[in-house]
Amino acid sequence: MGKLGAAAAVCAMALMGASLLGATQRPGGLLRPPGALSPEGFAARCVRCGRCIEACPHRAIHAAPLSAGADASTPCIEPRQQACALCADFPCAAACPTGALVGPRSMREVRMGTAVVNEERCLSYRAMRCEVCYRACPLIDEAISIDYRQREGDAIHAVFAPVVHEDACAGCGLCVQRCPVDDPGPAISVALAEG
Amino acid sequence: MDITRRKFVKASAIALASAAAGGTMGALSGCGTESGAPAAAASADAAGTVKTVGVCRFCGCGCGVIVEAKDGRLVSVTGDPENGSSRGLNCVKGYYLANALYGDDRLTKPLIRDDKATKGTDGGLREATWDEALDLVAARLKETWKADKSRLAFWGSGQQPIVEGYATAKFWKAGLLSNNIDPNARLCMASAVVGFMNIFQTDEPAGCYADIDETDVFVTWGANMAEAHPMLYSRLTARKLADSNVRHYDVTTLTTRTSASADKVLQFAPGSDIAIANAIANYLIQNNLYDREFVADHIQFKQGAENIGNAFEDGYDASEAGKTVDSVENITFEQFAARLAPYTLEYAEEVSGVPAADIQELAEVFADKSRKVLSLWTMGVNQHNRGTWMNHCIYNIHFLTGRYALPGDGAFSLTGQPSACGTAREVGTFSHRLPADLLVAKAPHRRYSEAIWNLPEGYLDAIEKPGMHTVKMFRELSKGNVDFLWTAHNNWAVSMPNLTRFLGRGDSDKQGIFDCFICVSEVYPTLSTQYADVVLPAAMWVEREGAFGNGERRTAVFEKAIDPPGEAQWDLWMLMEIAKRVLEGETIGGQDAFDLLFGAVYDKQAGQFKGSQREVCRTLWEEYRTFSNPQLNEKAAAINAAEKLKMEAKQLAPYDLYIENHGLTWPVREVNGQWLPTLWRFCDGPQEDGFDQLGVQQYGEQDLAAGVSFYKSADRKPSAVFRPYEPPAEVPSQEYPFWFCTGRLLEHWHTGSMTRRVPELHRALPSALLDMNPADCERLGLKDGDRARVTSRYGSFEITVSTAGRTVPPEGMAFAPFFADETLVNLAVQDVYCPLSKEPDFKKTCVAIEKI
């Protein structure tokens, strides 16, 4: 079963092709499942067994494609396709047999990365009432809050600017998955946690 | 020309960038053409892009937009800086509005269901010609009409454009002599409407959106403005940013995004808002904090029927309680004060759970005349088993403190839909109304309508008795008592409450939906079309010309920008073709019935309109406008004068001015050949500054307290009516221990039939979640993301639980939006309604929640 699940995930990865290129090209490496050790520690421990992939009820975790080089077949998340849902019991980490993933006690402990708003692309920064990322955030008002600002040259409307709080953001990427901006890409992305 | 979605989005982005760079669009007026096609020569730029003026298709804010089309396809929709309601602002729904027209499954051919056994499935409809479909619908309507016209019905909408609503009401009321026509606005605004009529004898807010810019304190009552009125909440927030002393109090049953940004939240037990409002009124009187002059000059006091029970049973309206709900009697101010006396702060705290000190603080806010206070409310107040009463109670506070119809000092009922005011209310698509606030039950109102419609005197006496209101319509339909139903601009199979009953999924004696002949005019397949016998493919939004009237009395036209896809047709054409067939051989006063009603706009022999869409809209508008400009019709003018109807109090301007001005707020007064809009109704001041100078001069009295005169009200005095606290229809029990509240969220419009087909919006909010309090989840063993079954005594549905915190209900309550038809929360929602307004209470169904 485990192998089959992993194989299926690899197939799914292959099908996604181009979109995953984004993941492989992410500066600093791949977005790991919650509870991952530091890049070095993770690389040392992960045996690419695929159990976390199989355990994820949301099919958010995939095996990195061959193009990821040394990271090929290690588990990663492409949030635009399916973000980490920050399950209360972290089944991915629980399934890890080697301790490459260590189950966080709560979503507030998770540090997969930090969301970064692209203010040029963001509709909210352009004074449209959007803030989809803010309302989608599982840590609403903690990881993302709204900075209310006067709209330039407009006395009667405000800008509702989403602001990410690095110290609270889990990096789950749900904001990235939900962002309605799509061309050339979403207006929010996850920068990896530094080693 | 085959543009893929990606290319389309790219094109939109480029067009938007160019629009933003281009600055304001002030010179765009009237750039549609007489033929209805865009005036390429007039405003097409070098790239062949044609710009037209429009207004957003979705919520009640009524944001103006500039529509750009190229090669017959929309390329962008951007905020219109010239629109006085929105000044160029938009929300994400408006930003992606163009994409709503390009879902993969637009209906482009008429469809017929031959086998009723396929109803409720996604199959069973076959393509047909327009003639076959129209013949069938007209034949079934005529057959029902001739056999028993109490068994036919039309269910319309606050999204139906104005002249279409007007024509539909005219066909139904004058052509078929039937009052079985009601809009989905019954689910939304009816309590506000009955409140307006009871209190002011005129159905309109006195204030406008500019009140937001002028006030010092906002009080939101049962209104999640941050999500349901995105543009207006931006305006509210801008006011707070401009002055750090501005305060916002949110009076609510659950924590919403509006509560999250309010300065203070008064969270009350469901249904207890009346106790809070009465306690505030009582506190003001007991402590001599009320405005004596305003009260003496402007207000009369009343009390009405009480202990009115609840509309659980189909026979409620005809019961002893149901028959007397509208009765009121005059009382003195002292009697009014005595009725309020039991509503102490302590009593209100006991009933509502809101600390007495917080209620007192809000009362003091109202008492402080150095600051302006603006109340805003929506569905928490209206969708309430005492919704009309709660509307009364809010006005009572504003009357006692002299805060009504003044800039920044007002009570403003927010509307839900783009033309709930403009169409549902103003043109008379309710079962008890005629155009321009007129009532079928009043003989002078019928005489006046007969005069404008060229009907023989007394002709409309046949519709003296109101028809079926919405819930009654569907209750009777479920019992097999409706043989013909036509619906347009709504999706009743998702939006109605108690769908277990109405969709025939419950009792075996409530299977009427499968027998009734149902015609659905639609732009996309919906759950409603799954129950339709005939589906008529409609032109959507700017694929035709139309107009909406928003919550601040602003009428705005959206010009035709492109042609509809395939064989889709303008709703007005469908109406003409069906009316023509049904009225074939019928006469009114010796004249051909169809020609008498619609001959000015439609040539029935040729089967086409007399002129362009612009001309047709203009002709119908000018006819409708006669209701509020009686001098245009000699007979009407005489009735208006003799019966003191004051019809010109709602004066409307000639059609084209609405395009030129990007919308105008009524009454629009003619002064020396200029047409001047009114922002602050009943408030004396210069007409050119938006005050109601001409109205007050003509009908009112100047120099009264606060400089206002309520000249539309009986004795020029609105009514403060004492309304007691009576508990919700049902309260949580051991079997059904939770309150269940439904509502809208920002990303989706109503039932999602349009916004869920916009990939960007679907991505933003792909499914409906049940927001629960974490403590309840823990008790029930539920985690975020678990599936749960929600069951009421009406029905049940399954849904995914969320504790993410977007909406945080208190313990013992859960919230879910109603946009998702795969979840269909309305299977479990009660159809109990406010006995006065007949508007269902979507906020307080008692349910059980269990983990699946």
DSSP A157-178: -EEEEEEE-TTT-----HHHHH
Can you name the residues that pair with B251 across neighbouring β-strands? Answer: B221, B266
Quote the CA–CA distance of B460 and B166 in Å, as a whole number.
16
Q: Report chain A's mean pLDDT, rounded to a whole number.
A: 87
Can you give the pLDDT at residue A27? 52
> Least CB-CB distance to A88: which of B212, B242, B784?
B784
Known binding positions of B: 56, 59, 63, 91, 93, 159, 184, 188, 271-273, 379, 383, 491, 521-522, 571, 818, 826, 843
B743 assigned to active site = no
Q: What is the pLDDT of residue B315?
A: 96
Task: To the nearest 10°, report the CA torsion of B195, B196, B200, B202.
Answer: -150
Which 7-66 residues of chain B touch chain A by CB within 8 A?
Answer: 9-10, 13
Q: Is the pLDDT of residue A192 over 50?
A: yes
All structural domains of chain A with their residue ranges: 2-106, 113-192
| A158 in reach of chain B (CB within 8 A) | yes
Catalytic: B93?
A: yes
Using the Cβ of B780 and the Cβ atoms of chain A, whether some distance falls under 8 Å is answered with no
Q: What type of residue sits at position B551?
A: G
- Domains of chain B, by residue range, sit at 111-188+421-555+566-599, 190-414, 738-829
For residue A194, name the pLDDT band (cuts at 50, 70, 90).
Answer: low
Cα B485 off chain centre by = 21
Q: Which pLDDT value is given to residue B47?
A: 80
What local confidence, expressed as pLDDT, does residue B423 receive?
94
CA–CA distance from B479 to each of A89, B411, B467, B493 (Å)? 49, 40, 17, 16
Among residues B289, B296, B223, the alpha carbon closest in space to that of B262 is found at B223
- Residue whose entry in the numeric block shows the structure tokens 């078929």: B176
Fold of A113-192: Alpha-Beta Plaits (3.30.70)
- CB of B239 within 8 Å of a chain A CB? The answer is yes
Give the bridge partners for B669, in sequence order: B676
B240: contact with A, CB 8 A cutoff:
yes
Q: Is B189 a catalytic residue?
A: yes
* Helix, strand and coil percent figures for chain B, each rounded to 5: 40, 20, 45
Give the whole-angstrom CA distance, residue B657 versus residue B1.
36
Q: Does A153 touch chain B (CB under 8 A)?
A: no
Among A88, A128, A150, beta carbon nearest to B90: A128
Task: Kindly give, in sequence order, each residue whose CB lies less than 8 Å from that of residue B29, ignoring residues fewer than 6 positions away.
Answer: B53, B659, B660, B661, B662
Contact list in B for residue A87 (CB cut-off 8 A) is 783, 785
Separation in Å, CA of B7 to nearest CA in chain A = 10
In Å, how far are A68, B96, B104, B488, B632 from B107, measured between CA atoms?
45, 20, 9, 14, 41
Q: Which of B417, B569, B651, B693 is catalytic?
A: B417
Residues near B482 by Cβ (< 8 Å), separated by ≥ 6?
B151, B152, B153, B473, B476, B512, B516
Residue A119 pLDDT > 90: yes
Question: How many other C-beta atoms can be found within 10 angstroms of the C-beta atom of residue B18?
Answer: 15
Of A89, A158, A179, the CB nearest to B238: A158
User: Residue A29 — pLDDT band, cuts 50, 70, 90?
Assistant: confident
End-to-end CA distance of chain B: 49
* A158/B241 Cβ within 8 A: yes
Q: How confident is the model at residue A183 (pLDDT cuts 50, 70, 90)?
A: confident
Q: B656 and B30 in contact (C-beta within 8 Å)?
A: yes
Subunit contact A129:B234, Cβ cutoff 8 A: yes
Q: What is the pLDDT of residue A9?
A: 39
> What are the distances in angstroms from CA B504 to CA B186, B322, B501, B507, B810?
22, 26, 5, 7, 34
B589 assigned to active site? no
Topology of domain B190-414, CATH: Dimethylsulfoxide Reductase; domain 2 (3.40.228)
Residue A63, min C-alpha distance to chain B (Å) = 24
Indicate the SS3 state at residue B320.
helix
Please state, in angstroms and rounded to a whole number, the distance separating the CA atoms of residues B563 and B569: 9
Q: Does A147 touch chain B (CB under 8 A)?
A: no
DSSP for A9-72, written as a single string: HHHHHHHHTHHHHHHHTSTTS--PPTTB--HHHHHHH-----HHHHH-TT--EEEPPGGGGGGT
Contact predicate B273/B352, CB 8 Å: yes
Joined together, the tokens standing for residue B209 give 């959106």
Query: B841 CB near a chain A CB, below 8 Å?
Result: no
Which pLDDT score, from 0 to 100, does residue A8 have? Answer: 40
- Pairing assessment for the beta strands B813-817 and B769-772 based on DSSP bridges: antiparallel
- Min Cα distance A22 → chain B (Å) is 18
Using the Cβ of B212 and the Cβ atoms of chain A, whether some distance falls under 8 Å is answered with yes
pLDDT the model gives residue B609 = 98
Q: Cβ–Cβ of A138/B784 closer than 8 Å? A: yes
Task: For chain B, say whether A151 makes contact (Cβ under 8 Å).
Answer: yes
The structure's pTM equals 0.93
Fold designation for B738-829:
Barwin-like endoglucanases (2.40.40)
Provide DSSP, A88-145: TT-HHHHH-SSSSB---SSGGG--SEEEEE-TTT-TTTTT-B--HHHHH-TTBTTTEE
Amino acid A71: pLDDT:
93
Q: B761 touching A, CB under 8 A?
A: yes
**Omega before A184 within 30 of 0, i.e. cis:** yes
Which chain B positions have a beta carbon within 8 Å of A154's beta carbon? 87-89, 238
**Cα–Cα distances in Å, from B816 out to B114, B743, B813?**
36, 7, 10
Q: Kindly list the residues from chain B whose CB atom is less than 8 angstroms away from the CB atom of residue A129.
A: 89-92, 230-231, 233-234, 746
Residues making up the binding site of B for substrate: 818
Using 50 as the pLDDT threshold, list the residues of chain B that sit under it: 1-42
Q: Do B87 and A150 touch (CB under 8 A)?
A: no
* pLDDT for the residue numbered B306: 98
pLDDT at B442: 97
CATH topology of domain B111-188+421-555+566-599: Rossmann fold (3.40.50)
Q: Give the A:B interface size as CB pairs under 8 Å.
A: 113
Give the C-alpha separation, A183 to B674, whole Å.
47
- Residues in chain A within 8 Å Cβ distance of B61: none
Structure tokens at B656: 């084209």
Q: Which residues contact B642 (CB under 8 A, 6 or more apart)?
A: none
- For residue B190, give how far its alpha carbon lies from the nearest alpha carbon of chain A (Å): 28
- Alpha carbons within 13 angstroms on the beta-carbon side of residue B536 total 28
Confidence at residue B783, expressed as pLDDT on a 0 to 100 scale: 92
The pLDDT value recorded for residue B581 is 98
CA distance B658 to B672: 18
